[in-house]
Structure 1
């Protein structure tokens, strides 16, 4: 057990394959549980993860947050395919000496996490997919212009951009969204530098290609043999909630949780529920566990 929290864990670096990866590693490493690695959403970095979630997990397991290639404090050029992002993520995990991990992927991070599970099945024990969908899913990579414009808004406190993207327009959801923003800005050395055009372009191309490359009958999902927990809100306006139902129906071993009055960041809106539900899933012993 180390004494670090989400807000105090130092940023570390590991170099492998010509890339210098930035990451933070904290939590209860002595509990004997599989480490949990978080995969980030579009244009998100280390500091956009929710402390209420990562600290909730860190109480009884190790948590690893990282910036993939070309993002913020990690060197290199952002890959323009989900497949290469997954390859790079696997390279990073290898460099840390990890042989088995649980993955939590949100939005684009969920696409990458699925691909890691396909490319590196021996590495992934369980998979948690939040606000995401399958390759060729409904509307993935085909975002309406008015929705896409939300990601380019400039604000006095830039983190407030996440309120209409991640949270429903209701009074309750927006209140909980503001609480999330306050949590993520609390870290004293938060990296608030703007993303360059290459991040938008590379990640945007990757999502568009992955989403518009159709997979008839979602056959690729059959290659993900591990248990999967799928989580979303009732009305995800970024990756439509129907995609979460598709994941649950076509993955060989998946269960689904839908949170009420919630949008793309349902787990940020209900961090306590999410931690509880996800820990139950990760810790459950059953005959289908990987």
Structure 2
């Protein structure tokens, strides 16, 4: 049976150019895990359940990206994924790590891909679960149900709103517990958290930062072996949007889970872990 890992025992901080919080355990090749966005998110909230399993195979690092978890917000002087990708560059430099494998969920997939494009020699393989920025959806409304519920919560942050948003993240509501809702809500209502989340999302539409093509338009430049993972019932980034990056990325493979929404690492936990370990170790 896989041992559990304690939050405090694995907690680390880094100062300097970027102030970053992370968790680390295990040994071997380095695996960097990047969480998604949304109210109350952190590296731990996304990956606490998977962390011990991956730490049995890799030196596993679960990062709180800038402005999330215990990594403080900053002035956003570029579109968020490029800021976070530069933070990863600094983070790896400070730890003396030359290259990594990346697991990225949603926004974390966006950030991981930006890092891979900026520093291709430092990324070996990637597993991207419903990666933001890469999906191109021609079969659903331009604003997904998950996005709509997310911004409804940010505009009126109530417990009912959190329940409604989290419901769009999963295909099986049974995996959502009161504890999960309460933890996410408490984190989302921390002082300044919602205002900072708005500021992060606003960077995507800020004309000052529109100096290069969007990520999906650069998908063909991603050379790393990449496993795209989607839930067939994803209501945040519908799985039909996976076909574009799968077709464009020259070394991509695609796995779609049935009975699964946006949180494959939670809903199909054991299957996701097995699939990821096999892909990274082959």
Contact 1:85 1:112 in 2 (8 A): yes
Partner residue of 2:57? 60
Partner residue of 2:223? 225
Q: 2:36 aligns with which of 31, 41, 45?
A: 41
Q: What does residue range 154-233 of structure 1 map to in structure 2 within 5 Å?
A: 154-155=158-159, 163-168=166-171, 173-178=172-177, 181=180, 194=190, 196-207=193-204, 218-233=216-231
Measure, in 1, the Cα distance between the counterparts of 2:229 and 2:97.
26
Measure, in 1, the Cα distance between the counterparts of 2:271 and 2:100.
22
Partner residue of 1:262? 260
Contact 1:14 1:20 in 2 (8 A): yes
Contact 1:111 1:135 in 2 (8 A): yes
Measure, in 2, the Cα distance between the counterparts of 1:55 and 1:68.
20
Query: Over aligned residue pairs, what C-alpha RMSD do you find?
Result: 3.4
Contact 1:47 1:191 in 2 (8 A): no
For residue 246 of structure 1, report the CA deviation from its aligned partner: 1.5
The question of 1:101 aligning with 2:100 is answered yes
Bigger CA drift: 217-226 or 240-249?
Answer: 217-226
Is the partner of 2:176 in helix, strand or coil? helix
Contact 2:234 2:261 in 1 (8 A): yes
The question of 1:128 aligning with 2:132 is answered no
Q: What does residue range 17-28 of structure 1 map to in structure 2 within 5 Å?
A: 17=17, 19-27=18-26
Partner residue of 2:149? 147
For residue 22 of structure 1, report the CA deviation from its aligned partner: 0.9
Partner residue of 2:87? 88
Q: CA 1:37/1:78 → structure 2, altered by over 3 Å: closer, same or farther?
A: farther
For residue 277 of structure 1, report the CA deviation from its aligned partner: 0.4
Partner residue of 1:281? 279
How many residues of Structure 1 are paired with residues of Structure 2 in the alignment? Answer: 266
For residue 161 of structure 1, report the CA deviation from its aligned partner: 6.2
Is the partner of 1:52 in helix, strand or coil? coil
Measure, in 2, the Cα distance between the counterparts of 1:90 and 1:105.
16
Contact 2:113 2:222 in 1 (8 A): yes
TM-score normalised by length of structure 1: 0.78
Measure, in 1, the Cα distance between the counterparts of 2:211 and 2:229.
23
Measure, in 2, the Cα distance between the counterparts of 1:108 and 1:147.
17
Contact 2:20 2:71 in 1 (8 A): yes
Contact 2:134 2:215 in 1 (8 A): no
Q: CA 1:148/1:163 → structure 2, altered by over 3 Å: closer, same or farther?
A: closer
Q: In proportion to residue count, which structure has more helix?
A: 2
